[in-house]
Amino acid sequence: MKKIIVSLCLATFLMSCKPETKEKLNAAQDAVTEEVKETIDSAKVRAEAKIDSIKEKAKSKMDSAVIKSANEVEEAAKKVQENVKK
């Protein structure tokens, strides 16, 4: 009889703890999900900033190359004009 009562008490105790455990697991899962989302968002922001920086560098290099090419074309045109005058 004692074993049956102890078994019922133990089963009742385990059943009563089960919803709390589920709540704790759900809370932990929500916390991990939120942390992962924040990590992804911060990584996305850093990546976008890096991409913008690279785009700016590429644009400035491209602009300087265009200016350099324009100067070379201008010098070549001057030489051609000088040769034509002669």
CA 62 and chain centroid, separation: 27
pLDDT above 70 for 55:
yes
pLDDT the model gives residue 44: 94
H/E stretch holding 1: none
The predicted-structure confidence for 9-43, as pLDDT tens digits, reads as follows 777 766 666 666 778 888 889 999 999 999 999 99
pLDDT the model gives residue 58: 92
Identify the band that residue 85 occupies on the pLDDT scale cut at 50, 70 and 90.
Answer: confident
Helices then strands, counting H and E runs in the chain, come out as 1, 0
Q: The whole model's pTM is what?
A: 0.52
| 8 secondary structure, DSSP code | H
Residue type, 24: K
